[in-house]
Structure 1
Amino acid sequence: MSTKISKWPAGTPMWVDLSVDDVEAAKTFYTGLFGWDYLSADDEAGYLLAQLNGHAIAGLGPKDDPAMPSAWTTFMASDDVNATAERIRESGGQVLMAPFDVMDSGRMAIAADTTGAVFGVWQAGNHIGAERVNEHGSLCWNELHTSDYAEARAFYAGVFGFNYHEVTGADMVYATCLRDSDRREVAGIHHDTQIPQSDPAYWLTWFASDDVASTAARAQELGATLLVPVSDTPFGRMVIVEAPQGDVFGVIAVAPAND
Protein backbone atom coordinates (compact mmCIF):
# COMPACT_ATOMS: atom_id res chain seq x y z
CA MET A 1 0.00 0.00 0.00
CA SER A 2 1.21 3.51 -0.77
CA THR A 3 -0.39 6.81 0.25
CA LYS A 4 0.45 10.01 -1.65
CA ILE A 5 0.14 13.48 -0.11
CA SER A 6 2.29 15.59 -2.46
CA LYS A 7 2.08 16.08 -6.21
CA TRP A 8 3.31 13.32 -8.50
CA PRO A 9 6.54 13.79 -10.48
CA ALA A 10 6.14 14.89 -14.10
CA GLY A 11 5.51 12.04 -16.51
CA THR A 12 3.82 9.79 -13.95
CA PRO A 13 0.41 8.32 -14.77
CA MET A 14 -1.25 9.66 -11.63
CA TRP A 15 -5.01 9.67 -12.19
CA VAL A 16 -7.69 7.87 -14.16
CA ASP A 17 -11.25 8.89 -14.79
CA LEU A 18 -14.22 7.13 -16.28
CA SER A 19 -16.73 8.62 -18.71
CA VAL A 20 -20.03 6.73 -18.99
CA ASP A 21 -23.67 7.21 -19.95
CA ASP A 22 -25.08 6.12 -16.60
CA VAL A 23 -22.99 7.37 -13.69
CA GLU A 24 -25.26 5.82 -11.06
CA ALA A 25 -24.93 2.38 -12.66
CA ALA A 26 -21.15 2.78 -12.81
CA LYS A 27 -21.07 3.76 -9.13
CA THR A 28 -23.02 0.62 -8.25
CA PHE A 29 -20.70 -1.59 -10.29
CA TYR A 30 -17.42 -0.26 -8.91
CA THR A 31 -18.69 -0.10 -5.34
CA GLY A 32 -19.73 -3.73 -5.64
CA LEU A 33 -16.39 -4.68 -7.13
CA PHE A 34 -13.87 -2.62 -5.16
CA GLY A 35 -15.80 -1.06 -2.27
CA TRP A 36 -15.46 2.51 -3.51
CA ASP A 37 -17.52 5.36 -2.10
CA TYR A 38 -17.92 8.74 -3.74
CA LEU A 39 -17.53 12.44 -3.11
CA SER A 40 -18.99 15.15 -5.32
CA ALA A 41 -16.47 17.42 -7.03
CA ASP A 42 -19.07 20.22 -6.85
CA ASP A 43 -19.00 20.96 -10.56
CA GLU A 44 -21.96 21.37 -12.90
CA ALA A 45 -21.07 18.28 -14.92
CA GLY A 46 -21.70 15.93 -11.97
CA TYR A 47 -18.10 14.69 -11.67
CA LEU A 48 -17.41 12.39 -8.72
CA LEU A 49 -14.27 11.39 -6.85
CA ALA A 50 -14.12 7.68 -6.05
CA GLN A 51 -12.54 7.02 -2.67
CA LEU A 52 -11.16 4.20 -0.54
CA ASN A 53 -10.92 4.91 3.19
CA GLY A 54 -11.17 8.63 2.53
CA HIS A 55 -8.44 8.73 -0.12
CA ALA A 56 -9.10 9.70 -3.75
CA ILE A 57 -8.74 6.74 -6.12
CA ALA A 58 -10.28 7.76 -9.46
CA GLY A 59 -12.90 9.98 -11.08
CA LEU A 60 -16.30 9.22 -12.61
CA GLY A 61 -18.49 11.44 -14.72
CA PRO A 62 -20.94 11.58 -17.62
CA LYS A 63 -19.69 11.53 -21.19
CA ASP A 64 -19.30 14.84 -22.98
CA ASP A 65 -20.47 13.13 -26.17
CA PRO A 66 -23.00 10.26 -25.88
CA ALA A 67 -21.69 8.81 -29.16
CA MET A 68 -18.28 8.12 -27.62
CA PRO A 69 -17.65 4.75 -25.97
CA SER A 70 -17.43 4.45 -22.20
CA ALA A 71 -13.76 4.52 -21.29
CA TRP A 72 -11.12 5.08 -18.67
CA THR A 73 -8.70 7.94 -19.41
CA THR A 74 -5.15 7.93 -18.07
CA PHE A 75 -3.74 11.28 -16.89
CA MET A 76 -0.02 12.10 -16.83
CA ALA A 77 1.45 14.50 -14.29
CA SER A 78 2.94 17.73 -15.58
CA ASP A 79 4.63 20.69 -13.92
CA ASP A 80 3.41 22.94 -16.76
CA VAL A 81 0.43 21.79 -18.83
CA ASN A 82 0.90 24.57 -21.37
CA ALA A 83 4.48 23.50 -22.06
CA THR A 84 3.47 19.84 -22.24
CA ALA A 85 0.71 20.67 -24.72
CA GLU A 86 3.26 22.43 -26.91
CA ARG A 87 5.58 19.41 -26.79
CA ILE A 88 2.65 17.19 -27.76
CA ARG A 89 2.10 19.30 -30.87
CA GLU A 90 5.82 19.43 -31.68
CA SER A 91 5.99 15.62 -31.38
CA GLY A 92 3.14 15.15 -33.86
CA GLY A 93 0.29 14.56 -31.41
CA GLN A 94 -3.02 16.38 -31.20
CA VAL A 95 -4.25 18.57 -28.37
CA LEU A 96 -7.94 17.67 -28.34
CA MET A 97 -8.82 19.93 -25.42
CA ALA A 98 -6.56 22.94 -24.87
CA PRO A 99 -5.22 23.58 -21.35
CA PHE A 100 -7.77 25.01 -18.94
CA ASP A 101 -8.17 25.50 -15.21
CA VAL A 102 -10.40 23.18 -13.19
CA MET A 103 -11.35 25.60 -10.42
CA ASP A 104 -8.53 25.43 -7.86
CA SER A 105 -8.07 21.67 -8.34
CA GLY A 106 -5.51 21.97 -11.12
CA ARG A 107 -5.00 22.62 -14.81
CA MET A 108 -5.54 20.01 -17.50
CA ALA A 109 -5.52 19.16 -21.19
CA ILE A 110 -6.67 16.18 -23.26
CA ALA A 111 -4.50 14.91 -26.11
CA ALA A 112 -3.99 12.06 -28.56
CA ASP A 113 -0.60 10.58 -29.33
CA THR A 114 0.67 9.82 -32.83
CA THR A 115 -0.85 6.32 -32.74
CA GLY A 116 -4.30 7.62 -31.75
CA ALA A 117 -4.32 6.88 -28.02
CA VAL A 118 -6.14 9.52 -25.96
CA PHE A 119 -4.70 10.61 -22.62
CA GLY A 120 -4.94 13.50 -20.19
CA VAL A 121 -2.32 15.83 -18.74
CA TRP A 122 -2.73 17.19 -15.21
CA GLN A 123 -0.93 20.03 -13.43
CA ALA A 124 -1.79 19.67 -9.77
CA GLY A 125 -3.41 22.39 -7.72
CA ASN A 126 -5.40 21.25 -4.70
CA HIS A 127 -5.98 17.88 -6.36
CA ILE A 128 -2.77 15.86 -6.75
CA GLY A 129 -4.40 12.83 -8.38
CA ALA A 130 -4.53 9.36 -6.85
CA GLU A 131 -3.90 9.51 -3.11
CA ARG A 132 -3.73 5.76 -2.67
CA VAL A 133 -2.12 3.25 -5.04
CA ASN A 134 -0.94 -0.38 -5.13
CA GLU A 135 -3.59 -1.73 -2.79
CA HIS A 136 -6.80 -3.63 -3.46
CA GLY A 137 -9.20 -1.53 -5.52
CA SER A 138 -6.71 1.22 -6.36
CA LEU A 139 -4.68 2.20 -9.41
CA CYS A 140 -1.48 0.21 -9.82
CA TRP A 141 -0.37 0.42 -13.47
CA ASN A 142 -1.12 2.02 -16.83
CA GLU A 143 -0.01 0.70 -20.18
CA LEU A 144 -0.34 1.76 -23.78
CA HIS A 145 -1.55 -0.83 -26.28
CA THR A 146 -0.49 0.14 -29.79
CA SER A 147 0.19 -1.50 -33.14
CA ASP A 148 2.94 1.08 -33.84
CA TYR A 149 5.40 0.38 -31.07
CA ALA A 150 8.35 2.41 -32.36
CA GLU A 151 6.21 5.45 -33.13
CA ALA A 152 4.65 5.42 -29.66
CA ARG A 153 8.02 5.15 -27.94
CA ALA A 154 9.36 8.10 -29.90
CA PHE A 155 6.32 10.22 -29.08
CA TYR A 156 6.36 9.69 -25.31
CA ALA A 157 10.14 10.12 -25.16
CA GLY A 158 9.70 13.47 -26.88
CA VAL A 159 6.85 14.65 -24.68
CA PHE A 160 7.74 13.28 -21.24
CA GLY A 161 11.42 12.39 -21.60
CA PHE A 162 10.82 8.67 -21.10
CA ASN A 163 13.61 6.16 -21.45
CA TYR A 164 12.66 2.53 -21.91
CA HIS A 165 13.48 -0.88 -20.52
CA GLU A 166 12.74 -3.80 -22.84
CA VAL A 167 10.97 -6.66 -21.06
CA THR A 168 12.12 -10.08 -22.25
CA GLY A 169 10.81 -13.58 -21.64
CA ALA A 170 7.13 -12.63 -21.70
CA ASP A 171 6.41 -13.82 -25.26
CA MET A 172 5.53 -10.27 -26.29
CA VAL A 173 7.12 -7.01 -27.35
CA TYR A 174 6.87 -4.79 -24.29
CA ALA A 175 8.81 -1.97 -22.68
CA THR A 176 8.45 -0.19 -19.38
CA CYS A 177 8.61 3.61 -19.39
CA LEU A 178 11.29 5.10 -17.15
CA ARG A 179 10.40 8.45 -15.62
CA ASP A 180 12.86 11.18 -16.60
CA SER A 181 13.47 12.51 -13.08
CA ASP A 182 14.59 9.26 -11.44
CA ARG A 183 14.43 6.45 -14.04
CA ARG A 184 11.65 4.75 -12.12
CA GLU A 185 9.32 2.43 -14.08
CA VAL A 186 5.95 4.19 -14.18
CA ALA A 187 4.09 2.76 -17.20
CA GLY A 188 4.29 0.25 -20.03
CA ILE A 189 4.05 0.17 -23.82
CA HIS A 190 2.78 -3.07 -25.37
CA HIS A 191 3.10 -3.86 -29.07
CA ASP A 192 -0.44 -5.19 -29.43
CA THR A 193 -0.80 -7.10 -32.69
CA GLN A 194 -4.49 -7.76 -32.01
CA ILE A 195 -5.56 -4.14 -32.57
CA PRO A 196 -7.33 -3.84 -35.95
CA GLN A 197 -5.52 -1.53 -38.35
CA SER A 198 -8.51 0.82 -38.38
CA ASP A 199 -8.65 1.15 -34.58
CA PRO A 200 -6.62 3.63 -32.51
CA ALA A 201 -4.23 2.68 -29.77
CA TYR A 202 -5.43 3.01 -26.17
CA TRP A 203 -4.22 3.31 -22.60
CA LEU A 204 -5.33 0.43 -20.36
CA THR A 205 -5.92 1.13 -16.67
CA TRP A 206 -4.97 -1.57 -14.16
CA PHE A 207 -6.35 -1.88 -10.63
CA ALA A 208 -4.80 -3.99 -7.87
CA SER A 209 -6.54 -6.95 -6.26
CA ASP A 210 -5.80 -9.12 -3.25
CA ASP A 211 -7.52 -12.04 -5.00
CA VAL A 212 -7.83 -11.74 -8.77
CA ALA A 213 -9.99 -14.83 -9.20
CA SER A 214 -12.51 -13.59 -6.64
CA THR A 215 -12.53 -10.11 -8.17
CA ALA A 216 -13.14 -11.61 -11.62
CA ALA A 217 -16.00 -13.74 -10.32
CA ARG A 218 -17.54 -10.74 -8.58
CA ALA A 219 -17.24 -8.67 -11.77
CA GLN A 220 -19.22 -11.33 -13.64
CA GLU A 221 -21.87 -11.37 -10.91
CA LEU A 222 -22.20 -7.61 -11.42
CA GLY A 223 -22.75 -8.04 -15.16
CA ALA A 224 -19.22 -7.67 -16.54
CA THR A 225 -17.54 -9.78 -19.22
CA LEU A 226 -14.03 -11.20 -18.95
CA LEU A 227 -12.21 -10.25 -22.15
CA VAL A 228 -9.09 -12.10 -21.00
CA PRO A 229 -9.73 -14.82 -18.41
CA VAL A 230 -7.82 -15.09 -15.16
CA SER A 231 -4.26 -15.98 -16.14
CA ASP A 232 -0.91 -16.38 -14.45
CA THR A 233 1.68 -14.26 -16.25
CA PRO A 234 5.29 -13.19 -15.62
CA PHE A 235 3.81 -9.95 -14.25
CA GLY A 236 1.38 -11.64 -11.86
CA ARG A 237 -2.10 -13.14 -11.92
CA MET A 238 -4.36 -10.93 -14.02
CA VAL A 239 -7.68 -10.56 -15.83
CA ILE A 240 -9.08 -7.99 -18.26
CA VAL A 241 -12.67 -6.94 -17.63
CA GLU A 242 -15.32 -5.18 -19.69
CA ALA A 243 -17.83 -3.51 -17.36
CA PRO A 244 -21.56 -3.48 -18.20
CA GLN A 245 -21.32 -0.09 -19.97
CA GLY A 246 -18.32 -1.16 -22.06
CA ASP A 247 -15.47 0.39 -20.08
CA VAL A 248 -12.44 -1.90 -20.07
CA PHE A 249 -9.79 -2.26 -17.36
CA GLY A 250 -7.31 -4.77 -16.04
CA VAL A 251 -7.04 -6.30 -12.58
CA ILE A 252 -3.74 -7.68 -11.36
CA ALA A 253 -2.19 -9.01 -8.16
CA VAL A 254 0.79 -6.83 -7.33
CA ALA A 255 3.24 -6.51 -4.50
CA PRO A 256 3.03 -3.17 -2.67
CA ALA A 257 5.59 -0.62 -3.81
CA ASN A 258 6.83 2.72 -2.58
CA ASP A 259 6.28 5.68 -4.89
Structure 2
Amino acid sequence: MTEHTGQRTYPEGVTSWVDTEQDDVDAAADFYSGLFGWTFSEATPPGVPFRYLVAQLDGRDVGGLGGPQTPTGDGGPEGAARWHTYIAVDDGDAAVRRVEQAGGVVVQPPTAAGEGGRSAVVRDPQGLEVRLWEARRRLGSQVTNVPGAWNFSDLHTDDLASAQQFYGQAFGWDFVDVGFATMIRVPGYGDHLASTVDPGIHERQAGAQVPAGFADAIGWVVPVAPGAEPGWHVTFTVAERDAAAERVERLGGSVVRTGDSDWTRTAVVRDPQGAVFTVSQFLG
Protein backbone atom coordinates (compact mmCIF):
# COMPACT_ATOMS: atom_id res chain seq x y z
CA MET A 1 0.00 0.00 0.00
CA THR A 2 1.23 3.46 -0.87
CA GLU A 3 2.12 5.59 2.14
CA HIS A 4 -0.27 8.50 2.62
CA THR A 5 1.86 11.65 2.37
CA GLY A 6 -0.99 14.13 2.45
CA GLN A 7 -0.26 15.19 -1.14
CA ARG A 8 -2.49 14.08 -3.97
CA THR A 9 -0.67 12.23 -6.74
CA TYR A 10 -1.89 11.18 -10.17
CA PRO A 11 -1.03 7.92 -11.94
CA GLU A 12 -0.17 8.07 -15.62
CA GLY A 13 -3.23 8.60 -17.77
CA VAL A 14 -5.32 10.42 -15.15
CA THR A 15 -6.36 14.01 -15.80
CA SER A 16 -4.40 15.96 -13.19
CA TRP A 17 -4.48 19.72 -13.77
CA VAL A 18 -6.45 22.52 -15.41
CA ASP A 19 -5.50 26.04 -16.32
CA THR A 20 -6.71 28.94 -18.41
CA GLU A 21 -4.90 31.38 -20.66
CA GLN A 22 -6.22 34.93 -20.52
CA ASP A 23 -5.11 38.20 -22.08
CA ASP A 24 -5.62 40.17 -18.85
CA VAL A 25 -4.27 38.02 -16.03
CA ASP A 26 -5.19 40.41 -13.22
CA ALA A 27 -8.76 40.80 -14.45
CA ALA A 28 -9.13 37.03 -14.73
CA ALA A 29 -7.75 36.57 -11.20
CA ASP A 30 -10.31 39.07 -9.90
CA PHE A 31 -13.14 37.21 -11.64
CA TYR A 32 -12.22 33.74 -10.36
CA SER A 33 -11.43 35.03 -6.89
CA GLY A 34 -14.90 36.53 -6.74
CA LEU A 35 -16.54 33.42 -8.16
CA PHE A 36 -14.73 30.62 -6.32
CA GLY A 37 -12.87 32.33 -3.48
CA TRP A 38 -9.47 31.51 -4.98
CA THR A 39 -6.23 33.14 -3.93
CA PHE A 40 -3.23 33.29 -6.25
CA SER A 41 0.52 32.93 -6.01
CA GLU A 42 2.98 33.99 -8.70
CA ALA A 43 4.78 30.99 -10.22
CA THR A 44 6.86 32.76 -12.89
CA PRO A 45 10.21 34.42 -12.18
CA PRO A 46 10.38 38.20 -12.74
CA GLY A 47 11.54 39.45 -16.12
CA VAL A 48 9.80 36.94 -18.40
CA PRO A 49 7.02 38.02 -20.80
CA PHE A 50 4.54 35.39 -19.66
CA ARG A 51 2.88 35.28 -16.22
CA TYR A 52 1.59 32.16 -14.54
CA LEU A 53 -0.44 32.21 -11.33
CA VAL A 54 -1.31 29.14 -9.28
CA ALA A 55 -4.85 29.31 -7.95
CA GLN A 56 -5.41 27.98 -4.45
CA LEU A 57 -8.41 27.15 -2.30
CA ASP A 58 -7.73 27.10 1.44
CA GLY A 59 -4.01 27.04 0.64
CA ARG A 60 -4.14 24.04 -1.70
CA ASP A 61 -3.49 24.13 -5.44
CA VAL A 62 -6.61 24.11 -7.62
CA GLY A 63 -5.43 25.14 -11.08
CA GLY A 64 -3.52 27.76 -13.02
CA LEU A 65 -4.00 31.09 -14.77
CA GLY A 66 -1.56 32.33 -17.38
CA GLY A 67 -1.13 35.15 -19.86
CA PRO A 68 1.11 38.02 -20.96
CA GLN A 69 2.76 40.32 -18.44
CA THR A 70 0.95 43.23 -20.07
CA PRO A 71 -2.54 42.83 -21.61
CA THR A 72 -2.46 43.04 -25.41
CA GLY A 73 -6.10 43.91 -25.92
CA ASP A 74 -6.76 40.68 -27.82
CA GLY A 75 -9.02 39.19 -25.13
CA GLY A 76 -12.72 39.68 -24.59
CA PRO A 77 -15.75 37.52 -25.36
CA GLU A 78 -14.52 36.67 -28.86
CA GLY A 79 -10.90 36.17 -27.85
CA ALA A 80 -8.88 33.00 -27.45
CA ALA A 81 -9.33 32.60 -23.70
CA ARG A 82 -10.08 29.01 -22.78
CA TRP A 83 -9.64 26.33 -20.15
CA HIS A 84 -7.12 23.54 -20.73
CA THR A 85 -6.99 20.01 -19.32
CA TYR A 86 -3.74 18.13 -18.56
CA ILE A 87 -3.18 14.36 -18.48
CA ALA A 88 -0.56 13.03 -16.08
CA VAL A 89 2.33 11.16 -17.70
CA ASP A 90 5.39 9.55 -16.17
CA ASP A 91 7.68 10.38 -19.10
CA GLY A 92 6.75 13.25 -21.40
CA ASP A 93 8.99 12.11 -24.24
CA ALA A 94 7.55 8.59 -24.24
CA ALA A 95 4.03 10.01 -24.02
CA VAL A 96 4.35 12.24 -27.08
CA ARG A 97 5.74 9.29 -29.04
CA ARG A 98 2.61 7.30 -28.12
CA VAL A 99 0.46 10.25 -29.17
CA GLU A 100 2.09 10.31 -32.60
CA GLN A 101 1.88 6.53 -32.97
CA ALA A 102 -1.84 6.73 -32.16
CA GLY A 103 -2.42 9.31 -34.89
CA GLY A 104 -2.19 12.51 -32.86
CA VAL A 105 -0.02 15.58 -33.42
CA VAL A 106 2.53 17.16 -31.09
CA VAL A 107 2.00 20.94 -30.99
CA GLN A 108 4.58 21.65 -28.28
CA PRO A 109 7.14 19.02 -27.23
CA PRO A 110 7.80 18.43 -23.52
CA THR A 111 9.02 21.74 -22.10
CA ALA A 112 10.28 22.51 -18.61
CA ALA A 113 7.92 24.59 -16.48
CA GLY A 114 10.44 25.66 -13.86
CA GLU A 115 10.84 23.17 -11.03
CA GLY A 116 7.18 22.18 -11.23
CA GLY A 117 7.50 19.69 -14.07
CA ARG A 118 7.31 19.44 -17.84
CA SER A 119 4.31 20.15 -20.05
CA ALA A 120 3.47 19.26 -23.64
CA VAL A 121 0.62 20.23 -25.95
CA VAL A 122 -0.88 17.66 -28.32
CA ARG A 123 -3.91 17.29 -30.56
CA ASP A 124 -5.91 14.13 -31.03
CA PRO A 125 -6.81 12.91 -34.55
CA GLN A 126 -9.94 15.11 -34.47
CA GLY A 127 -7.74 18.18 -33.89
CA LEU A 128 -8.84 18.60 -30.26
CA GLU A 129 -6.13 19.94 -27.96
CA VAL A 130 -5.17 18.31 -24.68
CA ARG A 131 -2.07 18.88 -22.59
CA LEU A 132 0.32 16.53 -20.81
CA TRP A 133 1.94 17.04 -17.42
CA GLU A 134 5.06 15.23 -16.20
CA ALA A 135 5.02 16.18 -12.54
CA ARG A 136 8.07 17.04 -10.52
CA ARG A 137 7.58 19.48 -7.65
CA ARG A 138 4.01 20.43 -8.62
CA LEU A 139 2.01 17.21 -8.51
CA GLY A 140 -1.36 18.38 -9.82
CA SER A 141 -4.59 19.67 -8.31
CA GLN A 142 -4.49 19.09 -4.57
CA VAL A 143 -8.17 19.67 -3.86
CA THR A 144 -11.05 18.49 -6.06
CA ASN A 145 -14.78 17.85 -5.92
CA VAL A 146 -15.56 20.45 -3.26
CA PRO A 147 -17.20 23.84 -3.85
CA GLY A 148 -14.76 26.10 -5.66
CA ALA A 149 -12.56 23.25 -6.93
CA TRP A 150 -12.19 21.33 -10.18
CA ASN A 151 -14.74 18.54 -10.51
CA PHE A 152 -13.70 16.82 -13.75
CA SER A 153 -13.06 17.37 -17.45
CA ASP A 154 -15.21 15.89 -20.21
CA LEU A 155 -14.41 15.22 -23.85
CA HIS A 156 -17.11 16.81 -26.02
CA THR A 157 -17.10 14.99 -29.35
CA ASP A 158 -19.49 13.35 -31.80
CA ASP A 159 -16.86 10.81 -32.91
CA LEU A 160 -16.71 8.34 -30.03
CA ALA A 161 -14.99 5.64 -32.09
CA SER A 162 -12.05 7.89 -32.95
CA ALA A 163 -11.69 9.00 -29.33
CA GLN A 164 -11.73 5.42 -28.07
CA GLN A 165 -9.02 4.36 -30.49
CA PHE A 166 -6.71 7.31 -29.87
CA TYR A 167 -6.98 7.77 -26.11
CA GLY A 168 -7.05 4.05 -25.48
CA GLN A 169 -3.79 3.57 -27.39
CA ALA A 170 -2.05 6.70 -26.12
CA PHE A 171 -3.11 6.64 -22.46
CA GLY A 172 -4.64 3.23 -21.72
CA TRP A 173 -8.17 4.51 -21.20
CA ASP A 174 -11.26 2.32 -21.06
CA PHE A 175 -14.58 3.62 -22.37
CA VAL A 176 -17.70 2.17 -20.79
CA ASP A 177 -21.24 2.70 -22.09
CA VAL A 178 -23.38 3.05 -18.97
CA GLY A 179 -26.60 3.81 -20.84
CA PHE A 180 -26.97 7.51 -20.20
CA ALA A 181 -23.36 8.36 -21.13
CA THR A 182 -19.91 6.96 -21.89
CA MET A 183 -17.60 6.83 -18.88
CA ILE A 184 -13.81 7.23 -19.24
CA ARG A 185 -11.83 5.00 -16.86
CA VAL A 186 -8.18 4.54 -16.00
CA PRO A 187 -8.00 0.98 -14.63
CA GLY A 188 -6.55 0.92 -11.11
CA TYR A 189 -7.18 4.59 -10.36
CA GLY A 190 -9.71 3.75 -7.65
CA ASP A 191 -7.16 1.52 -5.93
CA HIS A 192 -4.64 4.35 -6.10
CA LEU A 193 -7.11 6.73 -4.45
CA ALA A 194 -7.91 4.14 -1.78
CA SER A 195 -4.24 3.74 -0.93
CA THR A 196 -3.48 7.47 -0.85
CA VAL A 197 -6.08 10.20 -0.28
CA ASP A 198 -9.45 8.39 -0.20
CA PRO A 199 -9.21 5.15 1.79
CA GLY A 200 -12.99 4.66 1.92
CA ILE A 201 -13.77 5.12 -1.75
CA HIS A 202 -14.65 1.51 -2.55
CA GLU A 203 -16.84 1.03 0.53
CA ARG A 204 -18.58 4.36 -0.01
CA GLN A 205 -19.36 3.65 -3.64
CA ALA A 206 -20.51 0.11 -2.91
CA GLY A 207 -23.56 1.58 -1.18
CA ALA A 208 -24.23 4.24 -3.80
CA GLN A 209 -26.11 3.94 -7.06
CA VAL A 210 -23.12 4.51 -9.33
CA PRO A 211 -21.97 2.55 -12.41
CA ALA A 212 -19.64 -0.40 -11.90
CA GLY A 213 -16.00 0.74 -12.01
CA PHE A 214 -16.90 4.32 -11.13
CA ALA A 215 -13.94 4.57 -8.74
CA ASP A 216 -11.68 4.45 -11.81
CA ALA A 217 -13.62 7.17 -13.65
CA ILE A 218 -11.83 10.34 -14.74
CA GLY A 219 -14.53 11.89 -16.93
CA TRP A 220 -17.14 11.31 -19.62
CA VAL A 221 -17.53 11.54 -23.37
CA VAL A 222 -20.32 14.02 -24.10
CA PRO A 223 -22.01 14.80 -27.44
CA VAL A 224 -21.31 18.33 -28.69
CA ALA A 225 -24.15 20.66 -27.69
CA PRO A 226 -25.85 22.73 -30.42
CA GLY A 227 -23.83 25.86 -31.09
CA ALA A 228 -20.86 24.61 -29.01
CA GLU A 229 -17.39 23.59 -30.14
CA PRO A 230 -15.94 20.10 -29.67
CA GLY A 231 -13.04 19.79 -27.26
CA TRP A 232 -12.10 19.26 -23.63
CA HIS A 233 -14.49 20.97 -21.25
CA VAL A 234 -13.83 21.78 -17.58
CA THR A 235 -16.39 21.57 -14.76
CA PHE A 236 -16.08 23.09 -11.29
CA THR A 237 -18.10 22.14 -8.21
CA VAL A 238 -20.27 24.78 -6.56
CA ALA A 239 -22.50 24.65 -3.50
CA GLU A 240 -25.48 26.17 -5.29
CA ARG A 241 -25.85 26.48 -9.08
CA ASP A 242 -28.16 29.48 -9.22
CA ALA A 243 -26.07 31.52 -6.77
CA ALA A 244 -22.92 30.71 -8.76
CA ALA A 245 -24.58 31.71 -12.04
CA GLU A 246 -25.67 35.00 -10.48
CA ARG A 247 -22.09 35.66 -9.34
CA VAL A 248 -20.80 34.94 -12.86
CA GLU A 249 -23.09 37.63 -14.29
CA ARG A 250 -22.40 40.10 -11.50
CA LEU A 251 -18.65 39.71 -12.13
CA GLY A 252 -19.01 40.42 -15.85
CA GLY A 253 -19.46 36.92 -17.27
CA SER A 254 -22.53 35.35 -18.86
CA VAL A 255 -24.65 32.21 -18.56
CA VAL A 256 -24.81 30.15 -21.76
CA ARG A 257 -27.35 27.54 -20.62
CA THR A 258 -28.48 25.59 -17.57
CA GLY A 259 -29.36 21.93 -17.08
CA ASP A 260 -30.72 19.57 -14.47
CA SER A 261 -30.35 15.82 -13.96
CA ASP A 262 -31.06 13.34 -11.20
CA TRP A 263 -27.61 14.07 -9.73
CA THR A 264 -26.67 17.63 -10.61
CA ARG A 265 -27.81 21.16 -11.39
CA THR A 266 -25.40 22.74 -13.87
CA ALA A 267 -24.75 25.97 -15.73
CA VAL A 268 -22.46 26.42 -18.70
CA VAL A 269 -20.96 29.89 -18.31
CA ARG A 270 -18.50 32.20 -20.04
CA ASP A 271 -16.02 34.37 -18.17
CA PRO A 272 -15.51 38.04 -19.16
CA GLN A 273 -12.62 37.18 -21.50
CA GLY A 274 -14.49 34.37 -23.25
CA ALA A 275 -13.39 31.13 -21.53
CA VAL A 276 -16.29 28.66 -21.26
CA PHE A 277 -16.69 26.21 -18.36
CA THR A 278 -19.40 24.54 -16.28
CA VAL A 279 -20.40 25.03 -12.65
CA SER A 280 -22.08 21.99 -11.11
CA GLN A 281 -24.10 21.52 -7.93
CA PHE A 282 -24.22 17.90 -6.72
CA LEU A 283 -27.65 16.88 -5.43
CA GLY A 284 -26.59 13.83 -3.41
TM over 0.5, yes or no? yes
> How is 1:113-192 mapped onto 2 (pairs within 5 angstroms)?
113-169=124-180, 174-182=181-189, 184-192=216-224
Please give the alpha-carbon distance, in whole angstroms, between the structure 2 residues aligned to 1:14 and 1:235.
Answer: 24
SS in 2 for 1:214: helix
SS in 1 for 2:282: coil
Alpha-carbon distance, 1:212 to partner: 1.0
8 Å CA contact retained: 1:20, 1:71: yes
Q: Is 1:214 aligned to 2:243, yes or no? A: yes
Q: Which residue of 2 is the match for residue 28 of structure 1? A: 30
SS in 1 for 2:248: helix
C-alpha RMSD of matched pairs (Å): 2.2
> How is 1:1-259 mapped onto 2 (pairs within 5 angstroms)?
5-43=7-45, 44=48, 45-62=50-67, 69-169=80-180, 174-182=181-189, 184-192=216-224, 194=226, 201-229=230-258, 231-254=259-282
Please identify, of 83-92 and 64-73, the stretch whose mean Cα deviation from structure 2 is larger: 64-73
Counterpart amino acid of residue 204 in structure 1: H
SS in 1 for 2:109: strand
What is the TM-score of this pair, normalised by structure 1?
0.88
Please give the alpha-carbon distance, in whole angstroms, between the structure 2 residues aligned to 1:100 and 1:255.
Answer: 41
Q: CA 1:224 to 1:33, structure 2 compared with 1: closer, same or farther past 3 Å?
A: same
Alpha-carbon distance, 1:4 to partner: 6.2
8 Å CA contact retained: 1:141, 1:187: yes
Counterpart amino acid of residue 186 in structure 1: I
Counterpart amino acid of residue 65 in structure 2: L
Please give the alpha-carbon distance, in whole angstroms, between the structure 2 residues aligned to 1:62 and 1:140.
Answer: 23
* Structure 2 unpaired stretches of 5+: 190-212
Alpha-carbon distance, 1:157 to partner: 0.6
Alpha-carbon distance, 1:202 to partner: 0.9
8 Å CA contact retained: 1:4, 1:130: no
Counterpart amino acid of residue 121 in structure 1: L
Please give the alpha-carbon distance, in whole angstroms, between the structure 2 residues aligned to 1:241 and 1:211.
Answer: 14
Please give the alpha-carbon distance, in whole angstroms, between the structure 1 residues aligned to 2:270 and 2:128.
Answer: 18
Please give the alpha-carbon distance, in whole angstroms, between the structure 2 residues aligned to 1:191 and 1:179.
Answer: 21
Please identify, of 61-70 and 217-226, the stretch whose mean Cα deviation from structure 2 is larger: 61-70
Q: Which has the larger radius of gyration?
A: 2
Counterpart amino acid of residue 101 in structure 1: A
Please give the alpha-carbon distance, in whole angstroms, between the structure 2 residues aligned to 1:49 and 1:4.
Answer: 19
Higher helix share: 2
8 Å CA contact retained: 1:208, 1:253: yes
Alpha-carbon distance, 1:255 to partner: 7.2
Higher strand share: 1
Please give the alpha-carbon distance, in whole angstroms, between the structure 1 residues aligned to 2:274 and 2:87.
Answer: 23
Please give the alpha-carbon distance, in whole angstroms, between the structure 1 residues aligned to 2:20 and 2:6.
Answer: 21
